[in-house]
Amino acid sequence: MQRLPFNESTIAVLVDRFYDAVRVEPAIGPVFHAAIADWNEHKQLLTSFWCSVALGTGTYRGFPMAVHRQHPIKAMHFEQWLALWRATCAELLEDADATRMIEYAERIGRSLRYGLGLSGRQGARPFGVPIVSG
């Protein structure tokens, strides 16, 4: 499969595919469904977020920590979120771009986990450790 060039349009495709996967994922789908009333609006907002992070567009205006505090998020949700993000990035982006987007997600995830008080919970794996199914 040919990988996409790294630009705003590609980030929009990445966000769209990622959230399509999130919606059907059994562990995190219900958390997102309870929080999101309009998926198209959410995808537009998150496209703006990721374009601001990765391309420096400065179009995102929001408060991720405050938004995430409102929901029953657990450490395992971050792990599954990152696993889906990694897979989607690897599918769509050139290796260097995928690596960069995954690194951004890992840093953001660590910050959110810390801010939500999930980073020091007993039994939680360090963020970024892949989930092994079996």
Could you state, in order of their start, the residue ranges of all structural domains in the chain? 8-115
Which fold would CATH assign to domain 8-115?
Globin-like (1.10.490)
Q: How many CB atoms lie within 10 A of CB 69?
A: 13
Kindly report the pTM of this predicted structure: 0.78
Q: Return the closest-CA partner of residue 17 out of 119, 86, 63.
A: 86
> Which candidate, 13, 96, 8, places its Cα nearest to that of 54?
8
Per-residue pLDDT, 2: 62
Q: What is the pLDDT of residues 51-92, one digit of tens each?
A: 999 999 988 887 776 666 666 677 777 888 899 999 999 999
